[in-house]
């Protein structure tokens, strides 16, 4: 798929971050875009930005859906057909994801399963729901967003990260298996697995909102417990100070990232144009990929983590 003008793309998690930037860049090229998200207000902002850049006649539609819920995703294709007046799509980008549910040992089971079901189930549900519309196109491409945590199951020795890592490994394996499946049964459809490093998005803030069920609140006791488990003592901080600390950490994750969401979107779309089935996003992702391949037996040692931090210039 060398160009996107005149094509139709479906994007999950289009409300912020890479999903928003993918939508804007595709629309700018004259690609019709359908997006979903769980936060309608974020999608409305994305759509407004898209329409400022859209060539005449380009269509943009939105749909509120939780990608972890199959029934909600299954009802979306009918809306896409209606809103974009089409019986086919060319590009499916399963981008939606959240963090959380770090520990299977002493973490909250509901949060663990929600994180896993969004990050992995959202990909599976998206492919199942939109495969018929991809089959109707003369060419198609599925883009599944995994992570560097899809080949390195850690964010460092001091914090468990099991739900997210397990889901991203599943996305990677599923997409690689799709290469053969599609080649045999739908050869006009290609696929890519995307493995971003640290990208400047609001995933930390959005994940907290989704897992807590609140658009504003911070679960202060849960934050205190989580940080105590990592050796941090917040006893001298008031609840308001803890809330401020959480907000500052989320903003730092977004603002200190070595790769912006817009840069990540460009890398992904360039990878699709180039026909890559494996798209690493960011120099940190490239460095980590090489390091894990060279030293797999050391991958979960403290020294290995320090090598990653130094080699990627992460601000932690």
Of the listed ranges 17-26, 153-162, 252-261, the one predicted with least confidence:
252-261
Q: Given this model, what pLDDT does residue 215 score?
A: 58
Q: Given this model, what pLDDT does residue 217 score?
A: 67
pLDDT digits (tens, 9 = 90+) for 231-272: 777 778 888 887 787 787 778 777 888 899 999 999 999 999
Q: Is 104 a residue whose pLDDT tops 80?
A: yes
- Model confidence pTM above 0.85: yes
Asked whether 44 and 36 are in contact (CB, 8 A), the reply is no
Which positions ≥6 away from 200 have C-beta within 8 Å?
A: 253, 254, 255, 256, 257, 259, 260, 261
Q: Identify the structural domains of the chain with CATH numbers, from first to last.
A: 8-201+257-312 (3.40.50.720)
pLDDT digits (tens, 9 = 90+) for 272-299: 999 999 999 999 999 999 999 999 999 9
For all residues of the chain together, what is the average pLDDT?
93
Q: Given this model, what pLDDT does residue 214 score?
A: 61
pLDDT digits (tens, 9 = 90+) for 174-232: 999 999 999 999 999 999 999 999 999 888 787 777 776 765 567 777 777 766 766 77
């Amino acid at each position: 798929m060398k160009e996107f003008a005149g094509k139709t793309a479906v994007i999950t998690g289009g409300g912020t971050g890479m999903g928003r930037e993918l939508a804007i860049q595709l629309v700018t090229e004259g690609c019709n875009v359908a997006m979903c998200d769980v936060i309608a207000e974020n999608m409305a902002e994305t759509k407004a930005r898209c329409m400022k850049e859209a060539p005449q006649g380009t269509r943009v539609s939105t749909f509120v859906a939780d990608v972890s819920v199959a029934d909600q995703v299954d009802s979306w294709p009918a809306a896409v057909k209606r809103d974009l007046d089409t019986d086919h799509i060319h590009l499916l980008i399963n981008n939606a994801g959240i963090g959380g549910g770090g520990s299977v040992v002493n973490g909250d089971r509901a949060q663990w399963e929600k994180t896993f079901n969004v990050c992995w189930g959202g990909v599976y549900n998206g492919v199942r729901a939109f495969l018929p519309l991809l089959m109707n196109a003369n060419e198609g491409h599925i883009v599944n967003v995994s992570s560097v945590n899809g080949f390195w199951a850690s964010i460092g020795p001091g914090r468990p990260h099991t739900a997210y890592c397990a889901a991203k490994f599943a996305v990677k394996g599923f997409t690689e298996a799709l290469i053969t499946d599609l080649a045999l049964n739908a050869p006009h459809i290609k696929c890519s697995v995307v493995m971003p490093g640290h990208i400047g998005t609001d995933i930390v803030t959005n994940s907290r909102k989704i897992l807590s069920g609140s658009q504003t609140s911070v679960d202060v006791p849960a934050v205190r417990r989580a940080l105590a488990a990592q050796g941090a003592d917040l006893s001298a901080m008031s609840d308001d100070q803890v809330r401020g600390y959480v907000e500052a950490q989320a903003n730092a994750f977004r603002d200190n990232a070595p790769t912006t969401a817009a840069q990540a979107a460009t890398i992904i779309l360039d990878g699709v144009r180039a026909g890559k089935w494996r798209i690493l996003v960011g120099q940190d992702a490239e460095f980590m990929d090489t390091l894990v391949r060279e030293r797999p037996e050391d991958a979960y040692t403290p020294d290995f983590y320090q090598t990653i931090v130094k080699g990627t210039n992460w601000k932690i």
